[in-house]
């Protein structure tokens, strides 16, 4: 039978988010109905709010909850299971089935589209673990899987919000050194040190690229006879043009006949075009790659992140810095938009 619910909706016109009361339909064969415990407020949702759309959108893609109902083809969870919700397929390696789109009938006759989300069963804390399904997975996964950072390699992370702090955490767990945090706010840079950052660079005070090079001078020379400097890996966890263009020159040049250059990793969702120095990419044999969802596979990786949390390597209690109710959703997104969220904000239901 239909399930009464309150959901956050981005209207199909300019205006604040609304909280709508509606009935969720019975789940399809491969669907589940999940009652939420907590949900992360993600920066990518700001992009959804500000880009053009043809119909209302239901927000939410990282959370914890309990399964209320399931379809007859669902066999990995059952009613009553506590689950984590994410936007990456739980086990995409072993299925080619694509998720069915979900539409919800809103009061007044409009129809809203809900993005695809997936469930992964667990019995852990139901509040701070909500952010594993996006922030942690995206940042920590980019370091661990997309880049494959090794112990002793150097890392720079541009943007130390929830995703960037998760990237720093993973770099610290791996044993990267140094771990350079880049942001525009001294308080955030100091906060990043709690998660493993060894050096902070305020890009509003200095040229971040030059500062990184000064911190990473080597005793090698490139093919032009210049001293090699820069980090092994630079991660853009923001996605604006400035940072997208800064990460490539921030990584070290290769040494011809000896080794390749460093790797720039785009993690933040890009909102503008970007212009790269193709000569730097070619001659210095650097790499510029993208990372979506941290190249993660929830069935494989969520247990690892939960283990980090249990063992104290991933401080989710510190990472979650603000808590809101569903009726405060506009307050939460405004705070995120204006840079007032030091780590990650969650909604608690």
Phi, then psi, of 279 in degrees rounded to 5: -65, -40
pLDDT at 50: 80
DSSP annotation of 107: T
pLDDT at 197: 98
Query: pLDDT of 18-50, one tens digit each?
Result: 999 998 889 999 999 999 999 999 988 887 888
pLDDT at 99: 77
pTM of the model: 0.93
Query: pLDDT of 280-302, one tens digit each?
Result: 999 999 999 999 999 999 999 99
pLDDT at 247: 98
pLDDT at 330: 94
CA dihedral (89, 129, 63, 332) in degrees, to 10, reads -130
Give yes or no for a contact between 183 and 202, defined as CB atoms under 8 angstroms apart. Answer: yes
pLDDT at 220: 85
Low-confidence ranges of the chain (pLDDT < 50): none
Pick the CATH number of 136-293 from 3.40.50.720, 3.40.50.20, 3.40.50.300, 3.40.630.30: 3.40.50.720
pLDDT at 104: 86
Q: Where are the domains of the chain?
A: 3-134+296-348, 136-293
pLDDT at 64: 96
Report how far apart, in Å, the C-alpha atoms of 328 and of each of 18, 132, 190 are: 10, 22, 28
CA 103 to chain centre: 25
Dihedral sign for Cα 220, 216, 155, 212, please: negative
In a 10 Å sphere around its CB, with 0-12 CB exposed, 13-18 middle and 19+ buried, how is residue 220 labelled? middle
- Helices and strands (DSSP H and E) totals, the chain: 10, 17
Pick the CATH number of 3-134+296-348 from 3.40.640.10, 3.90.1570.30, 3.90.180.10, 3.40.630.10: 3.90.180.10
Residue given tokens 């040229």 in the structure block: 207
């Amino acid at each position: 039978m239909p399930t009464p619910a309150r959901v956050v909706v981005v209207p199909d016109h300019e205006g604040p988010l609304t909280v709508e009361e509606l009935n969720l339909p019975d789940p399809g064969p491969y669907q589940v109905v999940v009652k939420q415990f907590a949900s992360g407020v993600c920066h990518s949702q700001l992009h959804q709010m500000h880009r053009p759309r043809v119909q209302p959108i239901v927000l939410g893609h990282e959370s914890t909850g309990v399964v209320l109902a399931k379809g007859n083809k669902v066999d990995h969870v059952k009613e009553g299971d506590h689950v984590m919700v994410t936007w990456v397929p739980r086990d995409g390696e072993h299925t080619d089935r694509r998720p069915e789109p979900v539409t919800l009938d809103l009061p007044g006759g409009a129809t809203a589209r809900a993005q695809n989300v997936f469930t992964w069963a667990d019995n852990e804390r139901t509040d701070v673990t909500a952010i594993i399904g996006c922030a942690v997975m995206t940042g920590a996964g980019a370091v661990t899987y997309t880049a494959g950072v090794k112990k002793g390699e150097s890392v720079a992370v541009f943007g130390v919000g929830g995703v960037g702090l998760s990237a720093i955490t993973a770099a610290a767990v791996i044993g990267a050194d140094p771990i350079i945090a880049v942001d525009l706010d001294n308080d955030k840079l100091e906060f990043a040190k709690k998660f493993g950052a060894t050096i902070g660079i305020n890009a509003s005070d200095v040229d971040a690229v030059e500062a990184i090079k000064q911190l990473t001078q080597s005793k090698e020379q490139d093919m032009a006879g210049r001293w090699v400097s820069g980090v092994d890996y630079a991660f853009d966890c923001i996605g604006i043009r400035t940072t997208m263009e800064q990460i490539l020159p921030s990584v070290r040049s290769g040494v011809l006949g000896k080794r390749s250059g460093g790797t720039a990793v785009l993690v933040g969702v890009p909102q503008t075009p970007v212009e790269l120095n193709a000569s730097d990419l070619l001659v210095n044999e650097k790499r510029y790659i993208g990372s979506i969802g941290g190249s993660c596979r929830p069935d494989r990786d969520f247990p690892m992140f939960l283990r980090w949390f249990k063992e104290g390597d991933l401080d989710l209690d510190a990472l979650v810095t603000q808590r809101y109710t569903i009726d405060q959703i506009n307050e939460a997104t405004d705070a995120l938009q204006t840079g007032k969220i030091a780590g990650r904000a969650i909604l608690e239901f």
